[in-house]
Homo-oligomer: A and B are copies of this chain.
Amino acid sequence: MDIILTVAVPACALLALAAALFNSLRLRRLSEGEEAQKKIAKAIRSGAGAYLKRQYTTVAVIFAVVFVIFLALSLTGMMAKYTPFAFITGGFFSALSGFIGMKIATYSNARTAVAAKSSLNKGLRAAFSAGSVMGLVVVGLGLTDMTIWYLLLKFVFGEPEAQIAQYMVTFGVGASFMALFARVGGGIFTKAADVGADLVGKVEAGIPEHDPRNPAVIADNVGDNVGDVCGMGADLYESYVGSIVSAMALMAAAGLADGAKILVPMLIAGAGIIASVIGSFFVRTKENASQASLLRALRTGTYIASAIVAVAAFPIIWFVLGSDKIGVYFAVLCGLAAGALIGFFTEYFTSAEYKPTKDLAGTSKTGSATIMIGGLALGMKSTVLPVVIVSAAVLGSFFLAGGSLESPENGLFGVAIAAVGMLSTLGITLACDAYGPVADNAGGIAEMSGLDPEVRERTDALDSLGNTTAATGKGFAIGSAALTSLALIVSFKTTVESYASPDVFHLEITNPAVLIGLFIGGMVTFLFAALTMEAVGKAAQSIVLEVRRQFKEIAGIMEGKAEPDYRTCVDLCTKSALHKMILPALIALVTPVVTGLILGVNGVMGMLAGAMVTGFLLAVFMANSGGAWDNAKKYIEAGNYGGKGSDCHKAAVVGDTVGDPFKDTSGPALNILIKFLSIVSIIFAQLIVNFSLIK
């Protein structure tokens, strides 16, 4: 049976990649439209390609430097010997996931616009296909990377299972590091362009979004691809791999990783791939469908996939792990349920269908200050339910999987496998998420190339649906980040125990190292959020000044007689993004090392816990404030409180603008940060144990 299981995992990975290839070939057969659409699509494609080339070049240099440092540490025995190489492969596959996602998105945006000419359903199918290529590539490449390493370690290097698990948990570091750059860099690019374009175009000049007269409009479209698509791809690649390897490590710590049993997390992920592919078939609707039925179509696909995993996980646990460990199965269910619940409540707090966002739109009656206060309060308040859900999932999966205070190992593995359960259907949830920016771009192309207003209406309907699925997707990303980072913190502890005696830990709050660590961890998340927001603010300011300059200096631009200089705006965004993404990433890399060398392992544990808690809260707060502002604005644009152009609308645009970096730059980057800090701590554990100032 071991061989069957060992083959099953790569088979699932290949299935994902094959399905992605199939979808992308089908997409290429669609028409990209007339010359007008092709030209804009090409401009977006080349802008995104140029940005990514420069981003990857910059990151490659940093990776090379870090690789050399890692190599030196591993040669002196201060780091596990495979880590430097796994660092590279993780980074490579994470970058590749983002790159393929960006490619397919930029090939599909015009095609979606053209497809929407025929019907809403055709548009949905085109955009969803692009999203599902992305989703399947991420899970396919993730599972491929892990399988290759597993096979290498087991059959080439002949490592024992427990050791394999210990090694593999460090492999997330490259993926996380890459994800951090992609999210932060892409996030700065996209939001600087978006905010800049809106502030001058919509607010000052009063021209619609995506109007071709706006010099920042191409940069805005490019941003959707490099931030919302490529950044998200790298990000979720990291989440996916991180949750699986940390579950394997905790399995080993619980003594459950003998033989093929260690494959259980990967098998659940594999079942999720099959489930996602099956679920995708159900995402279709009638030709003359309403928007509500579109949403139902997406939901049906996701729920079917979840149901399949819920069924398939049972035999996996029962036969592979053993019937006495069936409690682990219920931990998987806890994860699936928690993911769905967080997704629902995220939607509740950010969708204009529900009271909170409707009320928020009402606060615009008294101006932008009150909608700011209202949105900040809404986001802060919205942290309550995710905390309760995550807490319940932790408690439930811990005790159901057989954990107790005296021997918590099984319980902690339960928490980790709950995260795997939550992310197992990523193939389809990410497809729903990634389809949004494609629809958004399609709308932009429709507007700019002067397609029928009806087409624009359809792409708007698709886009607005994308906002809802994006909110759900963010709930998943945040919830899984909390569970995974908890698993990684525990992995840090077990890693340290393999180098030092267990009594090195004094984790009481009365230990000043723990206490100060808690403060530092919390503070790092605030600093990180501040730096990323500030970067967006400053970059957006430079775009605003540039757009104002062009409006003033290029004669005939507002009459549509002269073409604006799109390139300068793309260049400005590129420079800002590359320049400003480095410091936050370096802070994330350096914090665990410095904290460890001064405060020791207890300080690091405190720091990780502080970052996890505060980072989770900040991430939820920022994502939901941002989402609610966005949809409050859309709610007003739909004709409430005076509709477009009213004072209420102006106030709501200010809210939306502040919400942009909240929800698409800082918030999502925090999810990566809290996991990255833990992984960095793990790979430097030995160094910290040996050289810390306070023991």
Bound-state Cα–Cα, A490 to B369, Å: 41
Q: Which residues of chain B come closer than 8 Å to A565, judged between CB atoms?
A: none
Nearest B residue to A391, CB-CB: B516
Contacts of A613 in B (CB 8 A): 518-519, 521-522, 610, 613-614
Q: Are A541 and B203 also in contact (CB < 8 A) when A384-B527, A530-B377 are?
A: no
Q: How large is the interface on A (under 10, 10 to 19, 20 to 34, 35 or more residues)?
A: 35 or more
Cβ-neighbour of A523 out of B366, B373, B384, B405 (below 8 A): B384
B residues near A520, Cβ cutoff 8 Å:
387, 391
Residue A506 at the B interface, CB < 8 A?
yes
Does A614 contact B522, Cβ atoms closer than 8 Å? yes
Please choose the segment from A1-9, A177-185, A231-239, A654-662 that sits at the chain B interface, where 4 or more of its residues have CB less than 8 A away.
A654-662
B-chain residues with CB within 8 Å of residue A490 when the two chains form the complex: 509-510
- Does A122 sit within 8 A of B, measured CB to CB? no
Of the listed stretches A296-304, A532-540, A556-564, name the one at the interface; the rest are far from the partner chain.
A532-540
Known contacts A381-B530, A519-B390; is-contact A617 B616 (Cβ 8 Å): no
Output the least CB separation between A270 and chain B (Å): 29
Residue of A380, A493, A533, A536 contacting most chain B CB atoms (<10 Å): A380
A403 interface residue (CB < 8 Å to B): yes
Q: How far in angstroms is the closest Cβ of chain B from A480?
A: 15
Q: List A383-409 residues whose CB lies under 8 Å from chain B.
A: 383-384, 387, 390-391, 394-395, 398, 403, 405, 408
A172 proximal to B (CB < 8 A): no
* A412 interface contact, C-beta 8 A: yes
Q: Say which residue of B367, B391, B523 sits within 8 Å of A617 (CB atoms).
A: B523
- What per-residue 1/0 map shows which CB atoms of A56-78 lie under 8 Å from chain B? 00000000000000000000000
> What residues of B have a CB within 8 angstroms of the CB of A369 in the complex?
195, 199, 653-654, 657-658
Which residues of chain A (220-274) have a CB below 8 Å from chain B? none
CB-CB nearest in chain B for A518: B613
Which of B383, B403, B519 is A387 in contact with, Cβ under 8 Å?
B519
Which of B367, B387, B510, B512 makes the CB contact (< 8 A) with A654?
A: B367
User: Bound complex: CA of A653 vs CA of B367, how far in Å?
Assistant: 11
Within 8 A of B (CB), among A621-668: 621, 653-654, 657-658, 661
The residue on B at minimum CB distance from A379 is B530
What is the bound-complex CA distance between A520 and B609, given in angstroms?
13
The oligomer's copy count stands at 2
A498 an interface residue at 8 Å Cβ cutoff?
no
> Are A533 and B380 in contact, with the CB atoms below 8 A?
yes
Task: Report A471-513 residues with CB < 8 Å from chain B CB.
Answer: 482, 486, 489-490, 493, 505-512
Q: Check: A374 CB closer than 8 A to any chain B CB.
A: yes
Q: Is A336 part of the contact surface with B, judged by Cβ < 8 Å?
A: no
CB of A90 within 8 Å of the partner chain: no
A376 contacts the other chain (CB 8 A): yes
A196 CB to closest chain B CB (Å) equals 8
Interface status of A363 (Cβ within 8 A of chain B):
yes
Tell me whether A147 is interfacial, beta carbon within 8 Å: no
A 591-615 to B, binary, CB cutoff 8 A, 1 in contact else 0: 0000000000000010001100110
Chain A: residues with CB nearer than 8 A to chain B?
Answer: 195, 199, 203, 363, 365-370, 372-374, 376-381, 383-384, 387, 390-391, 394-395, 398, 403, 405, 408, 411-412, 415, 482, 486, 489-490, 493, 505-512, 515-516, 518-523, 526-527, 529-531, 533-534, 536-537, 540-541, 544-545, 605, 609-610, 613-614, 616-617, 621, 653-654, 657-658, 661
Q: Top 9 nearest A-B pairs by Cβ distance?
A: A380-B530, A369-B657, A373-B537, A377-B534, A381-B530, A387-B523, A391-B516, A377-B533, A380-B526
